[in-house]
């Protein structure tokens, strides 16, 4: 059944890119057997997703070979190499990596932090390193990449270009790992392999600051604010590979109590070297980004609009979504700052998980959710403020000095076509 559906997908993928109308696909999530354990269901979904997309890709390749045989070159317009099982890359959860693999990832991140920036100093005086190029790009575009039509696709391409930089500029042989919040909600952040502060972690908590007030989110918007508990750290990170790293850019909006933003008065892109701060808050992880929350975000939304809103938290709903749950459970500076958050190297593991969640959701209805105009929804500005045009499949993603080339959104909607060839395990 599934194979037939996927062969159809192959044909439709090609026609979607060429602009012809695409017939409806079938929901492909029917093979999921929902159990009483959301963690088990998520594992199952992941396996189904990898399977569905791999088979789809085989279909695409077979189809291409057949067309070539007939002398039909109409699909050869795409410049990217086909994604096959031979070049498929696997992204894995941090805890599933060996210690040697974790160390090589950490070393590559440190390598990016030691190479000079490509961003011209007059554009972003605070961008000192290649790592900072990514932070500067994100700060510069924050209001056009969150609560927008490109939120998911922009961050997918951004994390991939970061992964490419680690590989091509710093000799990293592995892939971008991810932080599975379902796991850390159970173990607690402080004792997880990502944040336990060991030499093979992404560094641990910040130094403990006593009596930190609750965080109040959205106090200035007129909507009911969300109160988040303070965590178990709050100060400078004291352990692990990144304890001496310098955070060079921002902050822009730390959402301090009372609705004050605490941005750097010298400017968002000014040079402002300081320690990396964290405030690990397992309670936030448990409340907003547990296995049930992730599963519900994958199974319930039927449109991408609903999917991305549930993920980012519907303002005024009191729920910050799994995206917010991940970010605020890390906390600190720049972790808690929507603009500057990629300045904490754990950001890329967090957004690996965002991408993985989207990928699982897409695999449940692969045609509609990867290859049609229903794959995206939203406008080009944060909550459409100020009002802006709807995002379209042919809009470009421009990652500035982080890397490129600029890519149209339609080319980054599938992890197994266009420039990409990866799945999650
Ligand atoms: C910020 O965005 C503007 C407009 O796209 C661009 O011209 C500029 O180069 C960007 N700055 C950085 C630091 O990327
Ligand atoms: C798990 O997440 C859901 C959805 O956010 C929430 O309603 C539930 O209370 C959470 N469970 C715990 C134990 O906090
Ligand atoms: C923009 O998208 C909304 C929601 O999907 C839709 O109702 C509206 O017609 C679109 N506007 C244009 C100009 O296409
Ligand atoms: Cu972001």
Which residues are 226's β-sheet partners? 217
Locate the ligand 1 atom nearest the alpha carbon of residue 123 and give its number: 13
Long-range contacts of range 182-185, CB-CB < 8 Å, 24 or more positions apart?
A: 182/38, 182/39, 182/42, 182/289, 182/290, 182/291, 182/294, 183/93, 183/95, 184/282, 184/285, 184/329, 185/282, 185/285, 185/286, 185/289, 185/290, 185/291
Run of H or E residues at 151: helix 151-170
How is residue 225 annotated by DSSP? Answer: P
Closest CA to 375 of 156, 152, 155: 152
Q: What is the DSSP string of 265-329?
A: TT-TTS---B--B----HHHHHHHSSHHHHHHHHHS--SHHHHHHHHH--TTSS--HHHHHHHHH
CA of 324 to the centre of ligand 2 (A): 14
How is residue 409 annotated by DSSP? Answer: G
Predicted local confidence at residue 215, as pLDDT: 85
In a domain, 11, yes or no: no
What total number of domains does the chain contain? 1
Mutate to test the pocket of ligand 2, among 281, 292, 320 (most ligand atoms within 8 A of CB): 292
| CA-proximal residue: ligand 2, atom 3 (nearest) | 293
In a domain, 80, yes or no: no
In a domain, 260, yes or no: yes
In a domain, 236, yes or no: yes
Note down the domain range covering 319. 98-412
Evaluate whether 406 touches 396 at the Cβ level (below 8 Å): yes
Q: Say what the pTM is.
A: 0.89
Q: What is the DSSP string of 100-126?
A: HHHHHHHHHHHHHTTSBPSS-TTT-TT
In a domain, 20, yes or no: no
In a domain, 10, yes or no: no
Instruction: Give the number of the ligand closest to the Cα of residue 373.
Output: 3
Pairing of strands 234-237, 396-397: unpaired
In a domain, 156, yes or no: yes
Predicted local confidence at residue 11, as pLDDT: 30
Mutate to test the pocket of ligand 2, among 184, 229, 290, 295 (most ligand atoms within 8 A of CB): 290
CATH number of residue 113's parent domain: 1.10.1280.10
Pairing of strands 89-91, 422-424: parallel
In a domain, 397, yes or no: yes
Q: pLDDT per position in the chain (425 positions), as tens?
A: 233 333 333 333 333 332 333 334 545 555 677 788 889 889 888 888 877 776 666 665 555 666 566 555 544 445 677 888 788 899 999 999 999 999 999 999 999 999 999 999 999 999 999 999 999 999 999 999 999 999 999 999 999 999 999 999 999 999 999 999 999 999 999 999 999 999 999 999 999 999 988 888 876 677 888 899 999 999 999 999 999 999 999 999 887 665 667 799 999 999 999 999 999 999 999 999 999 999 999 999 999 999 999 999 998 899 999 999 999 999 999 999 999 999 999 999 999 999 999 999 999 998 899 989 999 999 999 999 999 999 999 999 999 999 999 999 999 999 998 999 999 99
């Amino acid at each position: 059944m599934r194979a037939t559906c996927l062969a159809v997908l192959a044909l439709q993928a090609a026609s979607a890119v060429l602009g012809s109308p695409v017939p409806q696909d079938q929901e492909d999530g029917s093979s999921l057997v929902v159990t009483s354990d959301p963690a088990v269901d998520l594992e199952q979904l992941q396996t189904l997703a990898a399977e569905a997309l791999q088979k789809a890709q085989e279909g695409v390749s077979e189809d291409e070979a057949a067309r070539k045989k007939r002398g039909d070159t109409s699909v050869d317009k795409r410049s990217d190499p086909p994604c096959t099982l031979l070049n498929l890359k696997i992204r894995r959860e941090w805890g599933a990596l060996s210690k040697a693999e974790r160390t090589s990832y950490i070393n590559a991140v440190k390598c990016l932090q030691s190479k000079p920036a490509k961003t011209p100093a007059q554009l972003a005086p605070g961008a000192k390193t290649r790592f900072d190029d990514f932070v500067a790009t994100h700060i510069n575009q924050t209001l056009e990449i969150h609560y927008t039509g490109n939120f998911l696709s922009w961050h997918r391409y951004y994390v991939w270009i970061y992964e490419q930089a680690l590989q091509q500029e710093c000799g990293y042989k592995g892939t971008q790992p991810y932080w599975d919040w379902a796991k850390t909600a159970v173990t607690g952040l402080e004792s997880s392999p990502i944040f336990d502060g060991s030499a093979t972690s992404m560094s641990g908590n910040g130094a403990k600051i006593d009596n930190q007030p609750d965080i109040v989110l959205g106090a200035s918007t007129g909507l009911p604010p969300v109160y988040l508990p303070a965590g178990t750290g709050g100060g400078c990170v004291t352990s692990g590979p990144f304890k001496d790293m310098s955070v060079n850019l921002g902050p822009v909006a730390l959402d301090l109590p009372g609705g004050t933003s605490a941005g750097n008065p010298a400017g968002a892109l000014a040079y402002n070297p300081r320690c990396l701060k964290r405030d690990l808050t397992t309670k936030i992880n448990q409340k907003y980004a547990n296995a049930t929350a992730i599963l519900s975000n994958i199974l319930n939304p039927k449109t991408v609009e609903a999917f991305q809103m549930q993920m980012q938290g519907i303002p005024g709903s009191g729920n910050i979504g799994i995206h917010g749950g991940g970010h605020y459970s890390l906390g600190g500076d720049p972790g808690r700052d929507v603009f500057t958050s990629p300045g904490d190297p754990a950001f890329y593991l967090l957004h690996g998980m965002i991408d993985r969640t989207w990928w699982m959701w897409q695999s449940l209805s692969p045609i509609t959710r990867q290859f049609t105009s229903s794959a995206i929804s939203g406008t080009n500005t944060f909550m459409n403020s100020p009002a802006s045009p709807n995002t379209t499949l042919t809009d470009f993603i421009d990652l500035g000095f982080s890397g490129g080339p600029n890519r149209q959104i339609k080319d980054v909607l599938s992890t197994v076509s266009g420039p990409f060839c990866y799945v999650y395990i």
